[in-house]
Amino acid sequence: MDDRRRGYGIIEVSRRPWKLFEDECRYLVYQSLSGFDIKPTDIVFESPPSHIYGELSTPICMMLARKTGLNPQDLALEVKSRIDTADRRFIAKVDVASPGYLNFYLDKPSFFKLLISSIQALGVEWGRLESDRRLRVIVEHTSVNPIHPIGIGHARNSFLGDSIAALLEARGYDVHRHFYIDDVGRQVSILAYGYNLLGKPRFEEKPDSFLGYIYASISCILEIRRLKSELESCRSKQSEDEYMKISSRLDEWVAIAAELRSRNEKLFDRLLESIESDKDPEGRIAEINRLYEKRLDEDIVGIVREVVTLCLEGFKETLSRVDVDFDSWDWESDIVWSGEVDRILSMLKSTSYCRLEEGALIFDVAEAARDLGLEERIDIGLELPSLTLTRADGTTLYTTRDIAYAFRKLKQYDLSITVIGMDQKLPQIQLMITLSALGVDRVLDRYKPLFYGLVKLPGYRMSSRRGRIVTLDDVLDEARVRALTEVRKRSPNIDPREAERIAEAIAVGAVKYALISVSPERDIVFSWDKVLNFEMNSGPFLQYAYARSSSILSKADVDYIYADFDPTILNDRLEEDLLIHISKYPEIIWYSSENLAVHIVAEYANELAMKFNSFYDKLPVLKAEPLELKIARLKLVYAFKSTLGSALRILGIRPLERM
């Protein structure tokens, strides 16, 4: 058990007080059900809908009654009669409710005593669990292609990933945050091609934003060229439908071109001219791709690395604004150049699943999955498409390189989390099957992609190729302006620089909360209203409750913290609700880390803030009489602040002492 005794006097400390209560209940029920064939873990507990049914409840008797044909109510009464609560610590009473619930009533004073002294003793360790084995974990997230600024959709990835990392740290793991730089492949080659055409142009703006413009413009120009030639060949074949289809797509791209051109006519025209004077831009791009991947031309290597590095500078600027940091930046090209990809390829070739088709190397994923008996463990229908590992020109594809990267991850870490868009589910599954085929140990347990839904603009999905992207920078700027007006309105006398600092924290909190608080598998339709929400169920709402609690504590004599206190005095329903909710915090950490579900933490924090606000509104703290009550309430406020503070840190939202 994680209890220990410390200090003078005897102060008992528990990292998981609620679990102590639950385990006590579990043990009693288990003992009383000795005649049945069940394990303690078969007994599930839930929170009753109302406190009149106690604090913990189990329907186990109803479940057993079904199997045995007994009457659930009778069984529950029988169990109750066998339970002896005389020498129990945290159970005040056991009762039976129709149609067969066993309800447990918490012995609040002794529980609250333990809870509050634990939180005080643990300090920042409160909410941090101890794991028997300190797993080494890699969390790879963000990994935005270095060809355009970070969009609000990518930001969902960053926030989710950073938060998951913090959560797993709280779980007691050794967590490493990695950014995978996708510098190999066609997209970066396109950008490098354009950047080179312009003769390494100078620019004033943020580098990722400038490069994003170049990338969008070139892909647009190329797309129009391609569509035009398709249209030509279509005309000769006289297929009316096809012609109309291509023609309308062409119209769409021409409109996009006009839009892009209006943003920077000189630059756009220069690009257009240069591309038009190039006989074979597509060929040149493929050439850049090949020369870079094979590292055959140091000039090309220099240019590609230069654009990518520039873009990353922009990323770092944005990411530091939102407190997202990485332990490592892993270049995809390094994995190729180091020979890791070749080694993986030759290992794959030596399996029976590879074949050559028109010069390209193909891996039969479906067959591998069947042979390895993986069908049942993978939640995708097994008409798994084959995976192309190499192009006819010998260059590799994204997933191939990702397999090598994943191989490395699982070699160096016990557990690998990859935060990645839902649209990449299939390639990730192909990757896992491929790794399994290579004999990597327990791939499905150790390689965990965390898929999330796309962030769409109302009407259409964002597209960096179309230059249609709402950037995180823009959203943050807008949120900060909004927050600053609020701060000024509420605290007119505040120091302007302090106001800026607070507004920025609020802006970041609002945007993060909006993206993190919905379950990841859902798509999100971007809306300013949602992201700039400062009211209930928002980042600022949490920060506000936190600021209120610290305001109280800052006005109190610090000695209260050392004072002994009488837990029986905290007997208002509002106080009890708040304390019980606080005590469940470590369980939330446990559950949400098991399920890689940070939105659970967000929801918990929101409820916690709501309970605190109700308490705050109705019950005075600083003016509470007698002194014992004031001390007890101050300790409660401290416990709240400590808990919300910890949850905010996991969510990546800055706790504010004032706002």
Q: Check binding of 517 to RNA (CB under 7 A).
A: yes
Size of the site for RNA (CB under 7 A): 101
Q: 268 or 526, CB closer to RNA?
A: 526
Q: 136 or 186, CB closer to RNA?
A: 186
Least Å distance, CB 519 to RNA, is 3
Residue from 46, 327, 334, 498 in contact with RNA (CB under 7 A)? 46
Q: Check binding of 360 to RNA (CB under 7 A).
A: yes
Report d(CA 409, CA 415) in Å as an integer.
8
CB 15 within 8 A of CB 129: yes
Q: Check binding of 204 to RNA (CB under 7 A).
A: no
Query: Is the previous residue joined to 99 through a cis bond, with omega within 30 degrees of 0?
Result: yes
CB 646 within 8 A of CB 540: no
Q: Check binding of 280 to RNA (CB under 7 A).
A: no
Q: 13 or 369, CB closer to RNA?
A: 369
Residue from 38, 77, 83, 97 in contact with RNA (CB under 7 A)? 97
CB 453 within 8 A of CB 464: no
Q: Check binding of 93 to RNA (CB under 7 A).
A: no
Q: Do β-strands 415-421 and 136-140 pair in parallel, antiparallel, or remain unpaired?
A: parallel
Tokens encoding 268: 């756009």
Q: 118 or 504, CB closer to RNA?
A: 504
Residues of this chain, 237-276, that bind RNA according to CB under 7 A:
none
**Which residue do the tokens 């850049």 mark?**
288
Q: Check binding of 77 to RNA (CB under 7 A).
A: no
Q: At CA 196, angle to CA 194 and CA 198, rounded to 5? A: 75
Residue from 44, 244, 296, 481 in contact with RNA (CB under 7 A)? 44
Least Å distance, CB 545 to RNA, is 7
Q: 121 or 556, CB closer to RNA?
A: 556
Residues of this chain, 588-617, that bind RNA according to CB under 7 A:
591, 594-595, 597, 599-600, 603, 606, 610, 613-617
Residue from 518, 569, 598, 629 in contact with RNA (CB under 7 A)? 518
Q: Check binding of 375 to RNA (CB under 7 A).
A: no
Least Å distance, CB 22 to RNA, is 11
Report d(CA 409, CA 432) in Å as an integer.
12
Q: Check binding of 457 to RNA (CB under 7 A).
A: no
Q: Check binding of 146 to RNA (CB under 7 A).
A: no
Report d(CA 586, CA 596) in Å as an integer.
15
Report d(CA 383, CA 653) in Å as an integer.
43
Site string for RNA, 418-437 (x = CB under 7 A): ----xxxxxx----------
Q: 185 or 314, CB closer to RNA?
A: 185
Q: 174 or 486, CB closer to RNA?
A: 486
Q: Check binding of 99 to RNA (CB under 7 A).
A: yes
Q: 118 or 289, CB closer to RNA?
A: 289
Burial class (CB in 10 A: 0-12, 13-18, 19+), 232: exposed
Residue 582 parent element (H or E): helix 573-583
Q: Check binding of 122 to RNA (CB under 7 A).
A: no
133: three-class secondary structure by DSSP = coil
The three-state DSSP-derived secondary structure of 515-572 is: HHCCCCCCCEECCHHHHCCCCCCCHHHHHHHHHHHHHHHHHCCHHHHHCCCCHHHCCC
Least Å distance, CB 196 to RNA, is 19
Residues 6+ apart with CB under 8 A from 391: 359, 360, 397
Q: Check binding of 134 to RNA (CB under 7 A).
A: no
CB 540 within 8 A of CB 512: no
Residue from 232, 252, 393, 498 in contact with RNA (CB under 7 A)? 393
Least Å distance, CB 658 to RNA, is 3
Least Å distance, CB 217 to RNA, is 18
Q: At CA 605, angle to CA 599 and CA 606, rounded to 5? A: 90
Residues 6+ apart with CB under 8 A from 249: 227
Q: E-assigned strands of 107-146? A: 136-140
Residue from 149, 151, 172, 185 in contact with RNA (CB under 7 A)? 185
Q: Check binding of 70 to RNA (CB under 7 A).
A: no
639: three-class secondary structure by DSSP = helix
341: three-class secondary structure by DSSP = helix
Residue 335 parent element (H or E): helix 332-337
Residues of this chain, 551-580, that bind RNA according to CB under 7 A:
551-552, 555
Residue from 523, 557, 561, 627 in contact with RNA (CB under 7 A)? 523
Q: 48 or 109, CB closer to RNA?
A: 48
Q: Check binding of 461 to RNA (CB under 7 A).
A: yes
Classify residue 186 by its DSSP letter.
H
Least Å distance, CB 518 to RNA, is 4
CA 506 to centroid of chain Cα atoms: 19
Least Å distance, CB 273 to RNA, is 25
Least Å distance, CB 322 to RNA, is 18
Q: Check binding of 179 to RNA (CB under 7 A).
A: no
Residues of this chain, 483-512, that bind RNA according to CB under 7 A:
483, 486-487, 490-491, 502, 506
Q: 247 or 386, CB closer to RNA?
A: 386
Q: Check binding of 444 to RNA (CB under 7 A).
A: no
CB 431 within 8 A of CB 403: yes
CB 143 within 8 A of CB 398: no
